[in-house]
Amino acid sequence: KDALIDSLEPGRYFVIVVDNFNCSSLDSVVLQSQIPITVNAVPLPKGPLNQYHISCPGVEDASFFFRALGQYPPFSYRVVDAMGDTVRSENGLGFAESRIIDSMGSGFYNVLVHDSHGCPQVTPMEILSPDSISFNMVPGIATPPYNISCNGYTDGSIALNNLQGGN
């Protein structure tokens, strides 16, 4: 007779089989799993302070580097946005270890990698965008109520206040 014990995790298992006469046999087996795929996804910084990944709000010019390591290359990947839509993918033969993905917008993404055996690994990533540039302009008053004191003069001024955002 045969029996099946399924849905087991990796580890050592002991099985005792007892017959109708109370005779028994003990054996053990170790179930091994492959080493999990390791995926590192790193958005590449832009700008002088390297704190954002996009040059300007609303622009899709972010790049990110990712590397997958595991026992069974080649790998295939999908980049999925926060809504679950695939925004980039490569299937078929796939890639050996790493990729740089360009032209990404800001937001939250998951990088889903599968090895050649179909085993998955998911890594979250966020691409940051600077805030929109905002400011207030206030024209200077040279001779009230005029901003330039005399016709033909160049003594006008504009003050920029509350400058915020940008990269």
pLDDT of res. 94:
63
Q: What is the mean pLDDT of residues 7-29?
A: 95
Residue 93 has pLDDT above 60, yes or no: no
- pLDDT greater than 80 at residue 96: no
Q: Given this model, what pLDDT does residue 92 score?
A: 58
- Residue 166's SS3 state is coil
- Could you report the per-residue pLDDT of 105-135, keeping only the tens digit for each? 999 999 999 998 999 999 999 999 999 999 9
Question: What is the rounded CA–CA span in Å between residue 4 and residue 129?
Answer: 54
pLDDT at 64: 92
Q: What is the pLDDT of residue 132?
A: 93
Q: What is the pLDDT of residues 144-165, one digit of tens each?
A: 888 998 999 999 999 999 999 8
Full-prediction pTM beyond 0.85? no
Distance in angstroms (rounded) separating the CA atoms of residues 65 and 95: 13
DSSP letter, residue 49: T
**Residue 24, pLDDT above cutoff 70:** yes
Read off the pLDDT band of 51 (50, 70, 90): confident
Which residue has tokens 């999990």? 36
Within 13 Å of residue 84, how many CA atoms lie on the same side as its CB?
Answer: 0
Question: Of 98 and 4, which is predicted with more confidence?
Answer: 4
What stretch of H or E contains 18? strand 11-18
Q: Using pLDDT thresholds of 50, 70 and 90, give the confidence band for residue 73.
A: confident
The encoded tokens of residue 132 equal 């929109």
